[in-house]
Structure 1
């Protein structure tokens, strides 16, 4: 029975994996393990005490923990503690598996002898170079611990070689550290170039670690970019006297801090504003403000609107913006993000300025993110060479399917238009009805291109525009200015004839 239960459990587990069920292990992020050592309190023999390494190590440990590392911080380590920490570090990496990332950071004294680099515990006191293997930690022994884990990414950082405390001892007359090779899958970084000296720093941290702490928290920055920027900052800080150095044999990308996920709603708002600010069109600005009245770019949009609008329009209170033919955007549910091909087509049209290119965009994306913009550009370009209107009795075409007329020239403006008198308009939904009646009517065309019919077809225009007689009169007056008259060609829920009618009504004093 036990064997059957075990077998059934195995079969069940395999079935879950084959069916794509998530597992706890798969959901966990890759393991990150770090050993951070900072030695400041040197008190033996010729090795001088250092001010910053312990603080440097604390700062780096803090940054690493914030970026997901399991950090062991060791400060002012004596030899036994130092070597024990390195051994535990290696064991932890081996347990973590091949996808783990290992990182070793050291700040403190280090020397080279016979081409090898040694990190000095705080009690180091030697009289001969031959003693180094007995009283110090060889840098390559730490790399060997990391390589033994056979994991894919290892990072080795030395902020060492402040000076050479043993320069008077034979075989210790070389400055700086010896060059080291990066094993496959590793990245080696040093506070200064091989054979050169690093500065401890006059502030709370060394120049190298201070720059590293700033750069490593940059979201999405590859490690190569991080240390390139560190090098630039250290060179500037030290007046060119210290140049950090690194070498890499990484086989996959690494970032200390993952880039924050893109917020689709914020991206849609940003792209919308980029298009509106480039076009500098009042109608588009009003549309943007109706969609994002409190958004990141709302203040900039209002400033641009005030710059472009005539004084009598710009002086209107924000609550009156809707009266100027601004329709509320649909509820922000799932913003549509344009694809790269769609953006490419629009960019081509904006670069060429040709009507054919905008029409090509609309042919490919009739309900695209930039469809309204493309139609507005086509309408503007059509002014130069207006196309003949389609025949009213064109076979096979439903009148209700036609787009709103660009300019309403069919409205009879020869007589007086009053608020309660019927309009002489060709559009059946408008003709024979008064402005007073139309306020409570339903839109004929969508207020915003691509808006689902279920959102607008059953709503009254007064609900969309907050219309009343005074506000409607203000809207008509705005069309009397040369700057605002261009809006007569923009799409409207009642079409262009309605705009022309309220313009004429306003011209006659809104009787």
Structure 2
């Protein structure tokens, strides 16, 4: 190494200055590129998923014993299903003894070359028999005349387990759909049906298409009942392997009318899922938590607020159904229950005190939870208590502040008072509480504000509210409007026309403009 370095230095020193300069420039370009390429390769190798390797064997075209219709179909279906869930598959069909032994040997070698977090899976469909407590897989060229020769012409299942166990990987799975009718039942000492129970080496899950000593059905369709169910269920995300095969067991019992019961045993030390569970995003988790909280509350108001804030939620259908059920239950309870008359409340003074007015105005200006709580602490039964509670509830539900007597925001143009709406002509210059409004269409023009307080809305006060909760009911069903607190509400349309008048109202958009005129005239 030293000799080569010295020769290289001598060669470089003999070059001209311009040539050496060109070499340096070339190295300055090439070396960073080589470095980046090496880093990319290293990153790719670090991000590779652990190996999932499967050997899938299907033997059906037997030469000297009864052939089977479905094993090759089963093997091909299983190979495709395993590839879909991330396995590299070695598929062998109608294997002779030499072919089967070589495939098992290659499979074991690949596992030993992999990391210890690799997963090995062996699937076999075909004839299999037991002898003296040992299980044998039968190649398609088997020709057996004497039970003593079975170990010479068959392939011991234990050899397969030994290959997998020698890899020292954490997870191995063996699936045997090989308990068909015994093709050697006439040979002495080979008249037992099914396979014998095997002990699972550490880290191994063993699954049989039926219990030890029992016979599995080949199936009347293209696939056996066992393999067909396994292939269908394998791609379900988040199902542990133990639960998966329990589901397969139920499927097979149903398909065979209880004749065939799949069986499994395990010594696995890690959790395994063919398809890992899909982890929801933080936004999806938050969305579900919010809906679960609202659902458990069984509060129609919370459900309505949820729908207003999340109209396109994946739970909006459930929310609408829950709201319908809750409102229907309340309506039925109201109809069927004799409510004892409650003593009439003493009339509230028409004129709230200056202190109360100051607090509610401050709360409306601040628009905060604390401000409304301060008002309610001071005046729990005040003129504006209901209005304050509605605003407070909206804030606590993280909703934008909305008008308590308005529908959810619907963008409409704010028109001057001289405009016409609903075919009613120009708005009047004066509106009185107890006199016909004279504008707003036939539903409003002939009625006064005091009349409308006890009238039924034309539209649902809250989007999505079932008709049973508002149709043919009055505003008094939800609000306790009086001239004083309604005047306070109407003044907000004077103070903030853009916000208030851009939202529709259960009596139509023009009604708010009439309330604005009324407030500007002193709420007479």
Q: How does the TM-score come out when normalised to structure 2?
A: 0.61
Query: What is the distance in 2 between the residues matched to 1:253 and 1:83?
Result: 30
Closer, same or farther: CA 268–198 of 1 in aligned 2, 3 Å: same
Q: Check if 1:224 corresponds to 2:169.
A: no
Query: What is the distance in 2 between the residues matched to 1:484 and 1:227?
Result: 60
Closer, same or farther: CA 495–93 of 1 in aligned 2, 3 Å: farther
Query: 2:53 aligned to 25, 29, 33, which one?
Result: 33
Structure 1 residue 197: deviation in Å?
1.0
Is the contact made by 1:54 and 1:75 (CA closer than 8 Å) also made in structure 2? Answer: yes
Closer, same or farther: CA 482–176 of 1 in aligned 2, 3 Å: same
User: Where in structure 2 are the equivalents of 1:468-479 lying within 5 Å?
Assistant: 478=457
Cα deviation, 1:221-265, whole Å, max 9, x if unaligned, reads: 111111112222222222222211111111111111111111333
Q: Check if 1:151 corresponds to 2:151.
A: no
Q: What secondary structure, in the 3-state scheme, does the structure 1 residue paired with 2:372 have?
A: coil
Closer, same or farther: CA 283–150 of 1 in aligned 2, 3 Å: same
Query: 1:410 aligned to 380, 383, 386, which one?
Result: 383
Is the contact made by 1:488 and 1:500 (CA closer than 8 Å) also made in structure 2? Answer: no
Is the contact made by 2:133 and 2:196 (CA closer than 8 Å) also made in structure 1? Answer: yes
Query: What is the distance in 2 between the residues matched to 1:499 and 1:307?
Result: 34
Q: Check if 1:179 corresponds to 2:197.
A: yes
Closer, same or farther: CA 304–215 of 1 in aligned 2, 3 Å: closer
Closer, same or farther: CA 69–392 of 1 in aligned 2, 3 Å: same
Number of the residue aligned with 2:219: 201
User: Where in structure 2 are the equivalents of 1:291-302 lying within 5 Å?
Assistant: 291-302=309-320
Cα deviation, 1:402-432, whole Å, max 9, x if unaligned, reads: 22656784369xxxxxxxxxxxxx99xxxxx
Cα deviation, 1:281-306, whole Å, max 9, x if unaligned, reads: 55434432333323333344445556
Closer, same or farther: CA 210–408 of 1 in aligned 2, 3 Å: same
Query: What is the distance in 1 between the residues matched to 2:219 and 2:139?
Result: 20
Closer, same or farther: CA 495–149 of 1 in aligned 2, 3 Å: farther
Structure 1 residue 109: deviation in Å?
0.1
Closer, same or farther: CA 62–298 of 1 in aligned 2, 3 Å: same
Is the contact made by 1:488 and 1:496 (CA closer than 8 Å) also made in structure 2? Answer: no
Is the contact made by 2:407 and 2:506 (CA closer than 8 Å) also made in structure 1? Answer: no
Is the contact made by 2:50 and 2:115 (CA closer than 8 Å) also made in structure 1? Answer: no
Closer, same or farther: CA 306–97 of 1 in aligned 2, 3 Å: closer
Number of the residue aligned with 1:116: 134
Query: What is the distance in 2 between the residues matched to 1:289 and 1:496?
Result: 30
Number of the residue aligned with 1:8: none
Is the contact made by 2:253 and 2:259 (CA closer than 8 Å) also made in structure 1? Answer: yes
Structure 1 residue 217: deviation in Å?
2.0
Structure 1 residue 218: deviation in Å?
2.0
Structure 1 residue 211: deviation in Å?
1.9
Closer, same or farther: CA 445–192 of 1 in aligned 2, 3 Å: closer
Query: 1:160 aligned to 178, 195, 200, which one?
Result: 178
Q: What secondary structure, in the 3-state scheme, does the structure 2 residue paired with 1:403 have?
A: helix
Closer, same or farther: CA 244–126 of 1 in aligned 2, 3 Å: same
Number of the residue aligned with 2:68: 50
Number of the residue aligned with 1:77: 95
Q: What secondary structure, in the 3-state scheme, does the structure 2 residue paired with 1:130 have?
A: helix
Query: 1:466 aligned to 411, 430, 433, which one?
Result: 411
Q: Check if 1:258 corresponds to 2:295.
A: no
Structure 1 residue 69: deviation in Å?
0.7
Query: What is the distance in 2 between the residues matched to 1:224 and 1:117?
Result: 23
Which deviates further from its counterpart, 260-269 or 197-206? 260-269
Number of the residue aligned with 2:489: 498
Closer, same or farther: CA 161–281 of 1 in aligned 2, 3 Å: closer
Closer, same or farther: CA 495–196 of 1 in aligned 2, 3 Å: farther
Q: RMSD value over aligned CA atoms? A: 4.7
Which deviates further from its counterpart, 62-71 or 129-138? 129-138
Closer, same or farther: CA 131–287 of 1 in aligned 2, 3 Å: same
Q: Give 5+ residue unaligned stretches, structure 2.
A: 3-34, 329-352, 416-420, 423-439, 462-469, 493-504, 519-524
Number of the residue aligned with 1:433: none
Is the contact made by 1:36 and 1:74 (CA closer than 8 Å) also made in structure 2? Answer: yes
Closer, same or farther: CA 462–278 of 1 in aligned 2, 3 Å: closer
Q: How does the TM-score come out when normalised to structure 1?
A: 0.62
Q: Give 5+ residue unaligned stretches, structure 1.
A: 3-11, 17-21, 311-388, 413-425, 428-443
Cα deviation, 1:35-61, whole Å, max 9, x if unaligned, reads: 0001111122xx111111111111111
Is the contact made by 2:60 and 2:140 (CA closer than 8 Å) also made in structure 1? Answer: yes
Number of equivalences: 376
Query: 2:120 aligned to 102, 118, 140, which one?
Result: 102
Number of the residue aligned with 1:136: 154
Query: What is the distance in 1 between the residues matched to 2:138 and 2:326?
Result: 69
Structure 1 residue 484: deviation in Å?
6.2
